[in-house]
Amino acid sequence: MQQNCNQCLYNKSHPFGLAVYLDGCSGCDTHLQKKEIDWVSVNDALIADVNQFKKKKRSYDCIVPVTGDAEDYFVLSQVLELGLAPLVVSVNDYFKNDIGWHNLHNLITHFDVDSLIYNPDINVYKELVRTSLRKFDHILLPFLSLHTSFPVHIAYERNIPLIIWGQNQAVEQVGKFSHHDRAQMSKWSRKEHDMLGLDMDTFIGNGAQVDTRSLNYYMYPEINRLSKRGVTGIYLSNYMLWDPLKQNQASVNFGFKPQKNRASFDIYERAGSSVYYQLHDLLKLKRVGYRKITDHLVREIRHGRIGRSEAKLVEQSYNQSKVELRGFFDWLNVTSSGYEWFKSHRLGSLSELIVESEVAIQSPTLPETLSCFLDASLEVSESFISFEKGVCI
């Protein structure tokens, strides 16, 4: 098999796996299906699928897991258009900035939906973040673990068997399944795509100083139990022509605030996070060899908004963007010497990308076909806000 896709910027080392063909890759090939599928009839199938779950003496028809991201606005708007009564479920990752809190609370108030926000034990959470960073060069595993299992627990406990997710990343990025497969949420998919192939036992190992009794919601519920209540998770991206940039831009009309981004042109995805385009992006580069900008550019190449050669130049430019890490290590209660040790011993090869305070870079010029989707964005006022009321009524 070839190593690099000649249509996009991915290669075989993509963490989800990638099949590279003579002309494109599994991700590009799956994207082409979007142009061939009769989405109207697929939408009819969606309506039929969700109608099976509509209220049967229940308060809610479905659960919608959210973080306050632009995608959540789109998903929730579609869920309401389908006539469903959702319970919005969110897990506090403790990494939100002022924009993140606004976007989460505005989502709930704008759409006027019931919500359940889980604030995990901060000490356990920090210990898991510390372990995750130390063992796997990843700081979001504890959050991802909760984000992908807590809503499933709630679905089981409250007997709300339908969970509606936005995009299936494995399909959108590497074409792991055909759109026709309509792959659903599963324990395997969570482990393979969200948890780096780890289960909680391996994740903790003998390093983390946590009592396993505190980890119930971090673990996926038993399949046998879920099966009895028929808990099912579907991805909307299997049922509609999924176009994140276009959809996310529309979320501004609902009061979503985009955030200025120095690591990518995408001001919508993960806006409101204090770490996503900072330490997380740097660790992604260390782990998998590329930064988030590559995912964004691949997506836009496939949607025809930028050419491959131009995208490569944009990628090179954004790959030089600097990251500020100190805020995260302060949040984690790491001493100055510990911070310096980590930088020199664990991030030594990437030291030229680390700065002590944020510096603006000259953003590369984007083609009009892409820049026309980018609205005005905001600067962050305050990062790492553990709790906040993001809207005033």
41 part of the interface to another protein, by CB under 8 A: no
CB-nearer residue toward another protein: 203 or 318 = 203
Q: And the tokens for 123?
A: 């000490």
Candidate list 55, 134, 180, 246; residue touching another protein; CB under 8 A: 180
Q: How far apart are alpha carbons 27 and 30 in whole angstroms?
A: 5
Residue 18 is a binding residue for another protein (CB under 8 A): yes
Tell me whether residue 115 or residue 178 sits nearer to another protein (CB atom): 178
384 binds another protein (CB under 8 A): no
Residue of 116, 126, 158, 192 that binds another protein (CB under 8 A): 192
Q: How many CB atoms lie within 10 A of CB 273?
A: 24
The number of beta carbons lying within 10 Å of the beta carbon of residue 341 is 12
- Residues in contact with 263: Cβ distance below 8 Å, sequence separation at least 6, in sequence order: 277, 278, 281, 291, 292, 293, 318, 321, 323
Taking the complex as a whole, how short is the minimal distance between the CB of residue 12 and another protein, in angstroms?
Answer: 9
The answer for residues whose C-beta is within 8 angstroms of residue 283's C-beta and 6 or more apart is 133, 137, 138, 139
Tell whether residue 321 is a contact of another protein (CB under 8 A).
no
Q: Scanning the structure block, which residue is given the tokens 């919500």?
A: 115
Q: Is 4 in the site for another protein (CB under 8 A)?
A: no
By CB under 8 A, the count of residues binding another protein is 34
The answer to whether 275 touches 328, Cβ cutoff 8 Å, is yes
Inter-residue contact 207 to 134 (CB < 8 Å): yes
Show the site string, 47-66: x = touches another protein by CB under 8 A, - = not.
Answer: --------------------
Tell which one of 86, 175, 258, 272 touches another protein (CB under 8 A): 175
> For the chain, what's the residue count?
393
The only residue of 6, 51, 186, 365 in contact with another protein, by rule CB under 8 A: 186
Residue numbers at the binding site for another protein (CB under 8 A): 1, 16-19, 21, 26, 29-30, 174-178, 180-189, 191-192, 197, 223, 226-227, 230-233
